Amino acid sequence: MEIRPLEELRAADDLSLAFNPWGLGGRMRPENAAEFQQRQIADCDLAEGVAAGTRDSFERLRTVFAYGVLCYDVYTMVGDQALLIYEQALRDRFMEWCAGTITFRLPQAPDVSYTVTSYDDVKKRSDRMTRQRAKLVVATHAIEFNGMLHGLRLWARTAGLLRGRRSRAVEDALAKLRNYVAHPSGHHVDTPVGAARTVRDLAELINQLWGQATSDGRLYPAPLHREIAVLSWNGSGRARMEPADALTAPDPTEDQESDEYQHVVVRAIPFIPGSRWNDAHWAEFDTRYETTRFPMEYLWGPGTREEARAWLEQERPEVDSVDFTDRVFLVQDHERLLPPMRPAVAAGLPDDERVGIWHAVRADFPDDAFAHVRGSRDSGAGHARRPGDCPACSAEVLGSGSYNEALRAAAAVLGPIEAVQLPSIRLPLSIFWPDRP
């Protein structure tokens, strides 16, 4: 190879300078590029308890990332290495979880346990046991486990260490990339943008494995803070959402116009400019269907502004936080497909509204559940129809059939479902869910 002088090694790589906060185009100055790229992953720190081996690998990765400014190829190597650390993190977490003992279940035989002191032990033992058709015992389940990445992923989900439906689809993609990195079949080049995202995703995954959700995370977000809000609308289809505090201020509308407005009090994710969690569907609120993207809880109404203010002063409802991932929805198919419903609301329906076919689906968002059920009507689209993870989208099928069958499938994962009966309220205009009975 050609020997390059130190000065040249220290010089910024032209390709790296082409990436700037506005995408490809203008070139950055080397010192700005160095700072800008490091900032992309500066805040993804690991949680306290993360295993030392995983932590060392991750910190080394962050260190090397900074050198991408000098050598563009570093971004590809960082992306590849991140995928290998993904597997290392699962192995390290597995060793902590098993605490030195793994148990297998054989067909028609008592469970057998083995002592393991390293992941190599786990792998050798699991490989042998898999050939005898034995399964690894994980709490109340027994799973296929041969010690490879596929088994580790199944274990982490079964043990309840990873959560979320959309994050599962990302885990799928990471596993495919990881296998590609381990057995490359061609040439690929990562960009600083791609490498930074992989590092950030990896940090979220490691933290979640060790029990820490990421505040404002993309994959494993911490529960979202909900505040008390007031929704109001008038006969001409105008709607607004305000924080409850705004009711003590003078009415924003003219007096006579204000009389036309109806008000309901809800718990909702507050609108924060620039936040990735703003609910674009807030104005679709409906007590019967899950037509907002994030869970919005009905508290009071409808009534006038004055009545809403009096209720708020009397009751002083508390703020809370919600985990919106892994929600269970029921989708009713009767003459047409209706929007997803919360199981508690479905449980409170009168007999004559329980008709049709019902689907129990787990998803992060109601639109994901709906899109899956709609997609599963077409047998060529590849959506799962039997219980399990859908290979075509980020939904999980829990069950379907009659109303009772679907509700039972929901109760199997949620526990007993307590019926709620809410006054029927919805905002008048709908863009995203216009087809409601």
Choices 44-52, 57-65, 166-174, 364-372 (CB under 5 A): range interacting with Zn ion: 364-372
- The least CB distance from residue 44 to Zn ion, in Å, is 30
Nearer to Zn ion, 328 or 393 (CB): 393
* Degrees, nearest 5: CA angle 161-331-276: 50
Nearer to Zn ion, 126 or 400 (CB): 400
Q: Verify binding: residue 153, Zn ion, rule CB under 5 A.
A: no
Question: How is 329-372 classified by DSSP, letter by letter?
Answer: EEEEEESEEPPPB-HHHHHT--GGG--SEEEEEEESSHHHHHHH
Residues 209 and 75: their CA atoms lie apart, in Å, by 25
Q: Please, are residues 10 and 70 in contact by the beta-carbon 8 Å criterion? A: yes
Choices 50-58, 228-236, 335-343, 375-383 (CB under 5 A): range interacting with Zn ion: 375-383
- The least CB distance from residue 231 to Zn ion, in Å, is 31
- The least CB distance from residue 378 to Zn ion, in Å, is 11
- The least CB distance from residue 367 to Zn ion, in Å, is 12
Nearer to Zn ion, 169 or 199 (CB): 169
Nearer to Zn ion, 53 or 375 (CB): 375
Distant-in-sequence, close-in-space partners of 138: CB < 8 Å, separation ≥ 6: 155, 158, 159
The residues pairing with 329 across neighbouring beta strands, listed in sequence order, are 361
Q: Token pair of 64, please?
A: 């090397």
Which residue number has the CB closest to Zn ion? 390
- Residue position matching structure tokens 């008592």: 110
CA 268 to chain centre: 18
Nearer to Zn ion, 288 or 359 (CB): 359
Nearer to Zn ion, 46 or 390 (CB): 390
Q: Verify binding: residue 166, Zn ion, rule CB under 5 A.
A: no
Q: Please, are residues 16 and 68 in contact by the beta-carbon 8 Å criterion? A: yes
Q: Mapping DSSP to helix (H, G, I), strand (E, B) and coil, where does residue 286 land?
A: strand
Nearer to Zn ion, 166 or 383 (CB): 383
Q: Verify binding: residue 372, Zn ion, rule CB under 5 A.
A: yes
The residues pairing with 422 across neighbouring beta strands, listed in sequence order, are none
Q: Mapping DSSP to helix (H, G, I), strand (E, B) and coil, where does residue 407 land?
A: helix
Residues 295 and 365: their CA atoms lie apart, in Å, by 9
Choices 161-169, 250-258, 371-379, 413-421 (CB under 5 A): range interacting with Zn ion: 371-379
* Degrees, nearest 5: CA angle 322-323-329: 105
Q: Please, are residues 50 and 61 in contact by the beta-carbon 8 Å criterion? A: no
- Report the half-sphere exposure of 282 (CA within 13 A, side-chain side): 21
**For residues 376-405, which are near Zn ion according to CB under 5 A?**
383, 390, 392-393, 395
Quick note: the x/- pattern for Zn ion over 114-143, rule CB under 5 A, is ------------------------------
Nearer to Zn ion, 73 or 172 (CB): 172
Nearer to Zn ion, 347 or 395 (CB): 395
The residues pairing with 115 across neighbouring beta strands, listed in sequence order, are 101
Size of the site for Zn ion (CB under 5 A): 6
The footprint of Zn ion (CB under 5 A) covers: 372, 383, 390, 392-393, 395
